[in-house]
């Protein structure tokens, strides 16, 4: 097993190889820009780690890791357009730095480039990777549509919300890990188990992201804190607050999530106060822990050594306690 830093460094070295000047610049400069904004590089790291865990040279997973990361960033470019988000990782979003049309077209190019990275694999391995990647890409789109639909619905349930974040976020984490397993040519059972591990970890990851969106430090979080509240998103925090609040607080939340004031500071502050008063913040932390533990329960069934199981567990614990 190698360290997380080794996986990240190898991935970044590979990423730098594609960060070259290409024409037309207005198509490719935004691609280079978003790919070099940083981020945790969670998904490509998981692809490399998974390949390593199942006995392959982890560098064989670099092309798949690139496909995953480029696709992820494509989805961010288009999500930011749909959300009209001003910041991504503390910097201007692509559509803000350039314009709307550039964001759409550059995002499209990234989706195509993501598939091209898989062309380095052959035969059945290529077929399995592309099939998984296509299924996952479509699920991410479905998850994004659910997310948009929920903004105008007043009857979103917690199970519906969990399904949405499973599709929008968790399936890509799961697929990143399964791709590493496919590259390592492990058993089908191991492939499916590592997918389940990644899916549960991905749900915990998104719940943590929801929590940090409201209660994170803007200097470390890298996005606009309170963005979900401003956009009237029915997050786990919001749904738990509705479930656990007084009638007066429920009415207040309903009213606040029906408006988009020019000055959003008071709205964000009031909603966050209700989240705390209703203990929705604590319920969200508990859900993060529950899904992390679901991921850990899968480790017992994986046909890998104890030290490799421990490495996966430590990674999960780090995600659960992150601040960014």
Nearest to 45 by CA among 79, 14, 17: 14
pLDDT, position 140: 97
Residue 20 corresponds to which tokens in the numbers above? 């070259």
pLDDT, position 18: 78
C-alpha distance from residue 124 to each of 57, 72, 112, 127, 183 (Å): 19, 24, 21, 5, 10
Taking only the tens place, the pLDDT of each residue in 21-70 is 789 999 999 999 999 998 889 999 999 999 999 999 999 999 999 999 99
288 CB-near residues (< 8 Å, 6+ apart): 204, 207, 208, 211, 320
137 CB-near residues (< 8 Å, 6+ apart): 71, 111
At 87 the three-state DSSP class reads strand
Residue 123 corresponds to which tokens in the numbers above? 């035969």
pLDDT, position 220: 61
> Radius of gyration (Cα) for the chain, nearest Å?
20
At 92 the three-state DSSP class reads strand
pLDDT, position 324: 60
Q: How far is the C-alpha of 284 from the C-alpha of 280, rounded, in Å? A: 6
pLDDT, position 5: 92
- 126 close to 62: Cβ distance less than 8 angstroms: no
- 166 close to 36: Cβ distance less than 8 angstroms: no
pLDDT, position 219: 64
- 148 close to 82: Cβ distance less than 8 angstroms: yes
pLDDT, position 19: 61
What parts of the chain have a pLDDT lower than 50?
A: none
Q: How far is the C-alpha of 72 from the C-alpha of 206, rounded, in Å? A: 14
- 226 close to 215: Cβ distance less than 8 angstroms: no
Q: In the chain, count of helices (H) and strands (E)?
A: 17, 2
* Sequential DSSP letters for 276-306: HHTTHHHHHHHHHHHHHHHHHHHHTTSSS-H
Query: What single DSSP character describes residue 91?
Result: E
What residues form DSSP beta bridges with 87? 92
β-strand pairing of 91-92 with 87-88: antiparallel
Q: What is the pTM of this model?
A: 0.92
- 130 close to 58: Cβ distance less than 8 angstroms: no
Taking only the tens place, the pLDDT of each residue in 247-267 is 999 999 999 998 989 899 999
């Amino acid at each position: 097993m190698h360290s997380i830093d080794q996986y990240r460094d190898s991935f970044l070295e590979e990423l730098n190889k594609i960060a070259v000047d290409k024409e037309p610049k207005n198509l490719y400069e935004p691609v280079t820009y978003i790919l070099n904004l940083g981020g945790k590089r969670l998904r490509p790291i998981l692809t490399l780690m998974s390949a390593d865990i199942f006995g392959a040279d982890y560098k064989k997973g670099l092309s798949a890791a690139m496909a995953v990361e480029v696709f992820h960033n494509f989805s961010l470019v288009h999500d930011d357009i749909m959300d009209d988000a001003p910041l991504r990782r503390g910097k201007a979003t692509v559509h803000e730095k350039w314009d709307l049309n550039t964001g759409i077209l550059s995002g499209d190019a990234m989706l195509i480039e993501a598939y091209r990275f898989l062309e380095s694999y052959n035969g059945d391995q290529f077929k399995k990777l592309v099939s998984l990647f296509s299924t996952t890409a479509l699920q991410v789109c479905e998850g994004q549509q659910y997310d948009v639909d929920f903004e105008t619905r007043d009857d979103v349930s917690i199970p519906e919300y969990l399904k949405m974040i499973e599709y929008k976020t968790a399936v890509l984490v799961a697929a990143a890990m399964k791709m590493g397993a496919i590259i390592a040519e492990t058993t089908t059972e191991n492939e499916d188990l590592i997918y389940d591990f990644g899916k549960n970890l991905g749900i915990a990851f998104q719940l943590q992201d929801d929590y940090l969106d409201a209660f994170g430090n803007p200097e470390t979080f890298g996005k606009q804190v309170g963005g979900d509240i401003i956009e009237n998103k029915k997050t786990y925090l919001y749904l738990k607050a509705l479930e656990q609040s007084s009638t007066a607080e429920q009415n207040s939340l309903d009213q606040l999530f029906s408006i988009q004031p020019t000055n959003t500071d008071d709205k964000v502050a009031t909603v966050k106060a209700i989240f705390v008063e209703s203990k929705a913040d604590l319920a969200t932390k508990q859900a993060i822990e529950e899904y992390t533990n679901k991921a850990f329960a899968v480790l017992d069934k994986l046909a890998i050594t104890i030290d490799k199981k421990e490495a996966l567990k430590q990674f999960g614990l780090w995600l659960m306690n992150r601040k960014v």
